[in-house]
């Protein structure tokens, strides 16, 4: 529920329009979602091995520290706290507030204010205990899966769709001309799939993690791939590729075609539930990263504080909410997810490399799960992640430079806390 709820956010209701605008042709549009899902699954298979072998708080922070040393673990934790997770939370919160405007008209200022209020409301909920946050996650995720399944079914069952809408199946441009647009569409799709790693952050709080963690990571990724690909097919079946490319609210347009004007309200409600569920999952899990860093003496000691009654990392939760709110108030949706994809895939590649490195350095390590397709699984994922990072730098150099600069800013902090810890 944590993984699926985090992966299915606002993107699947918005991003298909960006994909259709980048690559013209319904078959190629659907292919982007298939390839993006396959790439995410490769990463999930790698992280599943690491999560089963190291079921501790912090996820990638712990894995990178074990494989490459504390510096790389710290830089990931620093970037996760400053950019990756708060930017994801902020982007989803802004998307939530924009769709709330369907029911209650909001100015741009009030969209930002509402986004911030939603972040602090979910933080307060998770502040009061893991059980409350987990129960909320289960309810919201169940609702969003049902809503997305209903959207897919109505597209094919009710009048409004047609196979003629799938034309053209393939764009007329040469395959070389399609490489750049396909890469841009992939960045947006990978953002939509992001979240398959979330359960690793709470590895120390999972019962029987050697068995449960790999299953949760892999099965949740497969489920979301099926839902996303079917959603893409449904949108293409109801709307033509040209209509999708110009649509600002592609899911709403598709449902209005099948259910009429009342369908727009249903989609807006589904997106609101989806956004809340995604942010609840991120807020619940990602605060465990600065908590783990502080417990090892590599961050502010207060970040490792655990509430005596609620047993939650309360200071880390509040810090995360403050940073997310600043980003929500000042950043744009597109810029925020560009920061995230650049920084996140850099560390995803290092995590896949950690599987290779630890297989050589620690062959005696107990591995309850071993990545299927090793060594090709991590190798292929590293190559694709490198292409994603390179394409992001090429197409959005300013945002990429900001992301890289934020990573480098962690170096003085590492030297300071390392010296204090020693």
Q: Mean pLDDT throughout 53-81?
A: 91
pLDDT band at 1 (very low <50, low <70, confident <90, very high): confident
Residue 290 has pLDDT above 60, yes or no: yes
How many other CB atoms are there within 10 angstroms of residue 119's CB atom?
26
pLDDT of amino acid 43: 92
- HSE of 75 in the Cβ direction (CA atoms, 13 Å)? 21
Q: Name which of 44-53, 65-74, 261-270, 285-294 the model is least confident about.
A: 261-270
Show Cβ contacts of residue 65 under 8 Å, excluding neighbours closer than 6 positions: 72, 73, 74
Question: Phi-psi region for residue 182, left (φ > 0), alpha (ψ -120 to 50) or beta?
Answer: alpha
User: What residue ranges define each of the domains in the chain, with the CATH number in brackets?
Assistant: 2-421 (1.20.1740.10)
pLDDT at 133 (0 to 100): 85
Place of tokens 């197409």: 395
pLDDT band per the 50, 70, 90 thresholds, residue 336: low
Instruction: Return the DSSP state at 300.
Output: -
Q: d(Cα 193, Cα 187) in Å, to the nearest integer?
A: 10
For residues 155-175, average pLDDT = 79
Nearest to 170 by CA among 27, 31, 34: 27
The single-letter DSSP state of residue 84 is I
User: What pLDDT score was predicted for residue 338?
Assistant: 66
Tokens of 156: 């094919």
Mean pLDDT value of segment 20-31 = 84
Question: 386-411: per-residue pLDDT in tens?
Answer: 888 887 788 778 878 887 888 888 99
Q: What is the pLDDT of residue 332?
A: 56
> Which residues, in sequence order, are CB contacts of 117 under 8 Å at separation 6+?
none
β-strand partners of 161: 159
Which residue's entry shows tokens 């497969």? 222
- The number of CA neighbours under 13 Å toward the Cβ of 292 is 29
User: What is the token pair recorded at 11?
Assistant: 């993107």
Q: What is the DSSP string of 308-321?
A: TTT-S-HHHHHHHH
pLDDT digits (tens, 9 = 90+) for 182-205: 877 887 888 889 888 888 888 778
CA distances from 176 to 30, 173, 180, 190 (A): 19, 8, 8, 22
- What sign does the dihedral 338-221-252-138 (CA atoms) show? negative
Q: Which residues contact 88 (CB under 8 A, 6 or more apart)?
A: 194, 282, 336, 337, 340
Phi and psi (nearest 5°) for 57?
-70, 140
Kindly state the percentage of the chain with pLDDT values over 70: 98
Cα of first residue to Cα of last residue in the chain, in angstroms, is: 40
Q: Is the pLDDT of residue 334 over 70?
A: no
Whether 81 contacts 406, CB under 8 Å: no
Among 249-258, 272-281, 379-388, which is the least confidently predicted range? 249-258
pLDDT of residue 27: 86
The average pLDDT across 261-281 equals 86
Average pLDDT for the chain: 87
């Amino acid at each position: 529920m944590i993984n699926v709820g985090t992966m299915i956010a606002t993107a699947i209701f918005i991003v298909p329009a960006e994909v259709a605008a980048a690559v013209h042709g319904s078959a190629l549009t659907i292919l982007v979602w298939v390839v993006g899902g396959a790439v995410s699954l490769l990463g999930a298979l790698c992280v599943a091995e690491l999560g089963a072998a190291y079921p501790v708080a912090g996820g990638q922070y712990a894995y990178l520290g074990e494989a490459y040393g504390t510096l790389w673990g710290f830089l990931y934790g620093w970037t996760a706290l400053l950019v990756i997770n708060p930017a994801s939370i902020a982007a989803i919160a802004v998307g939530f507030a924009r769709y709330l405007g369907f029911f209650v008209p909001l100015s741009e200022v009030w969209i930002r204010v509402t986004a911030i209020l939603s972040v602090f409301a979910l933080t307060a909920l998770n502040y009061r205990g893991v059980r409350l946050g987990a129960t909320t996650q289960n309810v919201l995720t169940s609702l969003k899966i049902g809503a997305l399944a209903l959207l897919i079914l109505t597209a094919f069952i009710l009048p409004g769709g047609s196979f003629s809408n799938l034309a053209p199946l393939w764009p007329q441009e040469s395959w070389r001309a399609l490489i750049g647009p396909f890469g841009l569409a992939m960045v947006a799709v990978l953002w939509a799939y992001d979240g398959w790693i979330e359960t690793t952050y709470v590895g120390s709080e999972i019962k029987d993690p050697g068995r449960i963690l790999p299953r949760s990571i892999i099965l949740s990724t497969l489920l979301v791939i099926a839902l996303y690909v079917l959603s893409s097919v449904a949108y293409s079946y109801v709307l033509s590729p040209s209509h999708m490319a110009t649509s600002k609210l592609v899911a709403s347009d598709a449902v209005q075609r099948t259910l009429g004007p009342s369908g727009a309200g249903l989609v807006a409600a589904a997106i609101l539930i989806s956004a809340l569920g995604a942010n609840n999952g991120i807020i619940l899990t990602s605060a465990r990263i600065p908590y783990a860093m502080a417990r090892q003496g590599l961050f502010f000691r207060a970040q490792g504080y655990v509430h005596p009654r609620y047993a939650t990392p309360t200071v880390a939760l509040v810090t995360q909410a403050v940073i997310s709110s600043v980003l929500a108030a000042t950043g744009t949706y597109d810029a925020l997810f560009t920061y995230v994809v650049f920084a996140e895939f850099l560390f995803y590649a290092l995590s896949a490399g950690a599987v290779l490195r630890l297989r050589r350095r620690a062959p005696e390590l107990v591995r309850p799960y071993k990545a299927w397709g090793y060594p090709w699984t991590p190798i292929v994922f590293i190559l694709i992640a490198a292409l994603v990072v390179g394409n992001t730098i090429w197409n959005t150099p300013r945002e990429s430079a900001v992301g890289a600069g934020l990573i480098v800013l962690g170096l003085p902090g590492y030297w300071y806390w390392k010296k204090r810890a020693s």
